[in-house]
Amino acid sequence: MIRPQMPSGEMPKERLSSAILVLATILGALLPMGARATTNLTLPGFTLQNQFDKPRTVTFPRTNVLILAVAGRQSFPQLDLWIQAAKDSGIGPVELVGLADLTEVPRFMRASVRKNFRQTPEVLLDWDGMITSKLPVTRHEASIFVFTGSGKLKLHLTGVATPEAISRLRRATAAAAEDIEQDS
């Protein structure tokens, strides 16, 4: 096979793509555990039903920080420490909203799944991915999102709540509260 000659210093497209993939993999491995890079994400307002079949609306702009705790079936046990850390942050005003990613639950099982949540604090049920499809969530890790009063994402953490990650959550919550104060 004859390959076209590349001007000196240029890399063929296949090698450039491979190099970018390797670099992205290395950078991803260097991110602190429990943290993910985020983009300029702004959450729109939304309404979902809770486990008692009551609608709950989250709107922006708001006068408090929103901490959104998202989990699926496999990652739900990871939320306990996150929720406790958010409640103990000592930073106010903060609203903590639990969101269950239930996109994999077949329609015929929804009533029994809803009943399983009856003993928990309020959880919004996202059956169709209305919100979870807009967020960088994974099936096997809990995700914690901190949003400012305008709905702008301040921080996204995933996985188990480590002391370092909890510290990051508290700092981001305080920074989001400062943003709200400056905007008012």
For 32-80, what is each residue's pLDDT tens digit?
334 444 558 999 999 999 999 999 999 999 999 999 999 988 888 888 8
Alpha helices in 53-95 (DSSP H): 79-87
The string of pLDDT tens digits covering residues 74-122 is 888 888 888 888 877 676 688 999 999 999 999 999 999 999 988 888 9
Delimit the domains of the chain by residue range. Answer: 34-183
> Residue 95 and residue 145: Cα distance in Å, rounded?
12
In the 8-state DSSP scheme, what is residue 122?
P
Does pTM surpass 0.85?
Answer: no
> Residue 61 and residue 28: Cα distance in Å, rounded?
33
CATH homologous superfamily of 34-183 equals Glutaredoxin (3.40.30.10)
